[in-house]
Amino acid sequence: MIEWQQMTGFQSPCAEYAEEKLSLDKKFLFNPPAMFIVRVGSNSPHFNIKKGDYLIIDRSLQPKPYDLIIAVINNEFKVARLDQRGKSRTLFPYNIPIGVGDMDENFIWGVVSSLHRKF
């Protein structure tokens, strides 16, 4: 069965310039099952992160040296920088090094892929 549509006039001349609505999901979440948006609860001046900022965390990325990551330290989520020299890995959550070598790899929760601040 063919549906019938009634034409009521001509298409707008501007119709070819119409754009989709801006979708932040499509713009920033490249791998939705592995990505999360986190709102920061406290200032982290060492990383220029302020309370209320939004971090987009990608759990599918492998952390590389000097990446900003989210780590579970003492059962709390912390923003930290990863440093790797040879095979030893160190976290710098507040410029205080924490050795990573003896700990299980699951403590690195994800890599910060972008930061968004409300202006």
Each residue's pLDDT tens digit, 58-104: 999 988 888 999 988 777 888 888 887 777 777 777 656 666 554 55
Does the domain at 24-116 match CATH 2.10.109.10? Answer given as yes
The model's pTM is: 0.68
Q: What residue type is 4 in one-letter code?
A: W
Q: What distance in Å separates the CA atoms of residue 71 and residue 87, rounded to the nearest whole number?
A: 19
pLDDT of residue 105: 47
The answer to whether 69 and 37 have CB atoms below 8 angstroms apart is: no
Mean pLDDT of 44-67: 89
Q: What are the residue boundaries of the structural domains of the chain, listed by start? A: 24-116
pLDDT of residue 100: 56
- The gap from C-alpha 44 to its chain's centroid, in whole angstroms, comes to 16
